[in-house]
Amino acid sequence: MSFLFEKKNNKKILFVAPEAAPFVKAGGLGEVVFALPRALEDLGYDVRVMIPLYAGVDTEKYKLKMEHRGLEVPTGATGNNPNEPEYLICNVKKYTADNQDNGKAPVTAYFLENQEYYEKRSNVYGYGDDVVRWNLFCRGVLEFFRLSNDWTPDVIVSNDWQTGFLANYLKTIYKDNPRLSKISTVFVIHNLYYQGTFDHRYVTELDYDDGQSLIPSFFDPRLYKINGMRRGIMFNDKINTVSPTYSKEIMTKDYGELLDNLLQEKRAHLSGVLNGIDYESLNPETDVNLVANYNSKTLDKREKNKIELQARFNLPQDKTIPLFCITSRFVEQKGFDLFFNSLEQVIRELKIQLIILGSGDAKYMGFFKELSEKLPDQVGVHLNFDTTLPRLIFGGADIILVPSKFEPCGLVQIEAMRYGVIPIVRRTGGLADSVIDFNPGTGKGTGFSFDHFDSLSLSITIARAIENYKNKTTWQKIQRQAMSQDFSWAKSALEYSKIITKAITYHKNNKK
């Protein structure tokens, strides 16, 4: 019924984001902006994406065509200063999927082209003038659709603080535009911790942005103090986070990053939908990175992958040893501070093996390296980014450690469960929503969880998992239950369709 309903309405949705796979991907956001629009398109929506045109986008491979040349994007400046032009000139190019893509190509995409702010930059993020780049992008999107006669979205879905300015412009400068004023908006918070190019926790009273003033010009120093996350929450019709539990947590002081009061005010418009994964790509039955393919009915075949994984990390090859893994960015958010006082003793006393893949902050890199040197027969490390190793790790490891301090969604635990790796997680955010703590009384569960952010709680949970690992029948039951969970984008898209419908209704009823 839902599919037929959306086919009939055929609403037009535009996703606006700083990145989108496969064109450019710096993190998990890029994957979301690739997969979710495709899933919504499968529901009958007319979905498109818009991102900046970075130097890293392969314009030959994706055959971009000029859609609008010489787009004048207002800077907010008066034009009296020759160094502060009234307009910046951009182009808009368009990608349309080839008919021969077999359903695997991204949706139609637009690219805002400006050499100075995008094409001359080697990275997506990390520049001193990022706030100018994102404001140029947000206003450029609106100017393009103000002038375009080809396609106008019914809903714009913005993602994270970089695009939080868009609805602000839309509801102020463009509020009387007959075309743009009809567009409803949804703002997706992927991580509330990042709110701008500054540290929002250390802002003086003079620099504090209450979100009420007009956005300054691109050349005004005050622009660098504008909080894109705050404004995204304030000006959008609906707000969504990437898991139901995280949507509740961010309304508390512990997780709200100083925006909890604002989020409480907007709670009627706040929701949470868990991100999905690509079940076609992440498939242990077909994954070419594995020595042996398998499914939930042939779990014994995983032993070949385990032996290969142990050999790859120079660990003793023994299929009976509990093989733990960590595959992650090494940042404080991921909870690795819990390891400092206890992990070495846990590994020694419980006689487990641990494989570590990732990179990040020096204090964690140094800790893991030292751990592998102390326990060379029990700990193997690969402290660099790698695209194929995670698949082999998922195919052969028994347990994955995800003790996050906070976690908006988290994908690694979901991907691991798809391959039969059992997660140990702290019960927070998306980890709480995706992992069911195993109950030996009922036999139900897909992993092991703990509540308190302390080393003892983590150690007890590790010991609990190992006790269940010793019983092969019990362990394979947990694996099968984990592998049977539905974390598909199709499921997430159905929830987003409800939010989009609510946004349209709310905007129509509240439009002045």
Structural domains in the chain plus CATH codes? 2-276+490-510 (3.40.50.2000), 299-486 (3.40.50.2000)
Statement: residue 387 has pLDDT above 90: no
Average pLDDT (412-422) is 98
The pLDDT assigned to 5 comes to: 43
SS (H, E, C) 364-421: HHHHHHHHHHHCCCCEEEECCCCCCHHHHHHHHCCEEEECCCCCCCCCHHHHHHHCCC
The pTM of the full predicted model, rounded to 2 decimals, is 0.94
Q: What pLDDT, in 10s, does the model give residues 9-35? A: 589 999 999 999 999 998 889 999 999
304: its two tokens: 């070949």
CA distance 462 to 399: 9
Statement: residue 407 has pLDDT above 90: yes
pLDDT band at 104 (very low <50, low <70, confident <90, very high): confident
The pLDDT assigned to 121 comes to: 87
Q: What pLDDT, in 10s, does the model give residues 264-281? A: 999 999 999 999 999 999
Q: What pLDDT, in 10s, does the model give residues 31-69? A: 999 999 999 999 999 999 999 999 999 988 999 999 999
The pLDDT assigned to 132 comes to: 98
pLDDT band at 325 (very low <50, low <70, confident <90, very high): very high
Statement: residue 6 has pLDDT above 70: no
pLDDT band at 413 (very low <50, low <70, confident <90, very high): very high
C-alpha dihedral sign at 97, 103, 104, 109? positive
Percent of the chain beyond pLDDT 70? Answer: 97
Higher per-residue pLDDT: 368 or 150: 368
To which H or E segment does residue 504 belong?
Answer: helix 489-510
The pLDDT assigned to 4 comes to: 40
